[in-house]
């Protein structure tokens, strides 16, 4: 069970970590961001957000060089949940993720892809590394992992990886995996379908059955109002 930490105490703990940054470890940074995101999400109090931004500014090359794939993934996921985009830290994390992608777990690959898509960082090299690593892993992916990866490619408008998005969706369409599908994953695949329709006019036709495409569309139509469609503003970098 996760214990809630009062705002003032959390801010003090974050400030203490900043003060001791020369001795801080990548695990400490990643765990701190992750725990804060789990407690508050995008509703972190102003004092906590200010302390987090000071922590982000204190993260140096020493910490980045020592990070594992899981550290990077957890940190990016946390920042995306918190709605924080400290430019220096997010870009350093995105850059660090490129060579670490082959060592990431399926969940770390999916979380990293979804996070950088939401944060608007990372370019063609990062998404190619994530999609390539996912393509080489035959097992271990959940439906959510596959849909998050495909959705991230669509949201980030990685057109050169359209084939990878189709392949990920096709893996999600297999009977055993499809049976695990929840409404959010259906909505993600519908967004991928719409994005691909704008590219080749086919979308996910052939990768998903007509019945599966209808399921995805129905989930999209039933979505909470205000949920955005896959963005086409970002172009492949």
Boundary (domain end) residue, out of 49, 69, 103: 103
Give the residue numbers spanning the domain of 16.
7-103
Residues 76 and 152 in one domain: no
Query: How do residues 29-68 score in pLDDT, each as one tens digit?
Result: 898 899 889 888 988 888 888 888 888 888 888 888 899 9
Is the pLDDT at 99 greater than 80? The verdict is yes
Residues 138 and 209 in one domain: yes
- Among 92-96, 107-111, 207-211, 226-230, which stretch is predicted with the lowest mean pLDDT? 226-230
Residues 133 and 94 in one domain: no
Is the pLDDT at 226 greater than 70? The verdict is no
Residues 90 and 128 in one domain: no
Is the pLDDT at 134 greater than 60? The verdict is yes
User: Is 114 a member of any domain?
Assistant: no
Is the pLDDT at 19 greater than 80? The verdict is no
User: Is 206 a member of any domain?
Assistant: yes
Residues 99 and 133 in one domain: no
Residues 127 and 236 in one domain: yes
Q: How confident is the model at residue 233 (pLDDT cuts 50, 70, 90)?
A: very low
User: Is 111 a member of any domain?
Assistant: no
Q: How confident is the model at residue 185 (pLDDT cuts 50, 70, 90)?
A: very high
Q: What does the H/E/C string look like for the chain?
A: CCCCCCHHHHHHHHHHHHHCHHHCCHHHHHHHHHHHHHHHHHHCCHHHHHHHHHHHHHCCHHHHHCCCHHHHHHHHHHHHHHCCCCHHHHHHHHHHHHHHHHHCCHHHHHHHHHHHHHHCCCCHHHHHHHHHHHHHCCCCCCHHHHHHHHHHHHHCCCHHHHHHHHHHHHHHCCHHHHCCCCHHHHHHHHHHHHHHHHHHCCCCECCECHHHHHHHHHHHHCCCCCCCCCCCCCCCC
Residues 151 and 232 in one domain: yes
Residues 129 and 214 in one domain: yes
Is the pLDDT at 147 greater than 50? The verdict is yes
Of 171 and 44, more confident: 171
User: Is 109 a member of any domain?
Assistant: no
User: Is 113 a member of any domain?
Assistant: no
User: Is 115 a member of any domain?
Assistant: no
Residues 95 and 125 in one domain: no
Mean of pLDDT over the chain? 89
Residues 85 and 151 in one domain: no
Of 17 and 28, more confident: 28
User: Is 83 a member of any domain?
Assistant: yes
Total domain count, the chain: 2
User: Could you count the other beta carbons within 10 Å of the beta carbon of residue 233?
Assistant: 8
Residues 205 and 151 in one domain: yes
């Amino acid at each position: 069970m996760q214990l809630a930490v009062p705002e003032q105490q959390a801010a003090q703990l974050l400030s203490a970590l900043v003060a001791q940054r020369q001795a801080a470890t990548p695990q400490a940074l990643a765990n701190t961001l992750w725990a804060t995101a789990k407690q508050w999400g995008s509703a972190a109090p102003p004092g906590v957000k200010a302390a987090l931004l000071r922590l982000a500014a204190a993260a140096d090359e020493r910490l980045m060089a020592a990070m594992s794939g899981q550290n990077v993934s957890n940190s990016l996921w946390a920042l995306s949940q918190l709605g924080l985009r400290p430019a220096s830290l997010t870009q350093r994390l995105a850059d660090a993720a490129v060579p670490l992608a082959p060592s990431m777990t399926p969940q770390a690959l999916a979380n990293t892809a979804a996070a950088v898509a939401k944060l608007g960082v990372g370019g063609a090299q990062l998404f190619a590394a994530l999609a390539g690593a996912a393509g080489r892993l035959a097992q271990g992916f959940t439906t959510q992992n596959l849909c998050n990866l495909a959705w991230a490619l669509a949201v980030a408008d990685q057109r050169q990886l359209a084939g990878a998005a189709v392949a990920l969706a096709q893996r999600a369409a297999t009977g055993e995996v499809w049976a695990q599908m929840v409404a959010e994953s259906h909505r993600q695949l519908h967004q991928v379908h719409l994005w691909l329709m704008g590219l080749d006019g086919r979308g996910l036709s052939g990768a998903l059955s007509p019945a599966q495409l209808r399921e995805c569309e129905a989930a999209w139509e039933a979505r909470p109002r205000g949920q955005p469609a896959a963005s086409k503003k970002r172009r492949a970098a």
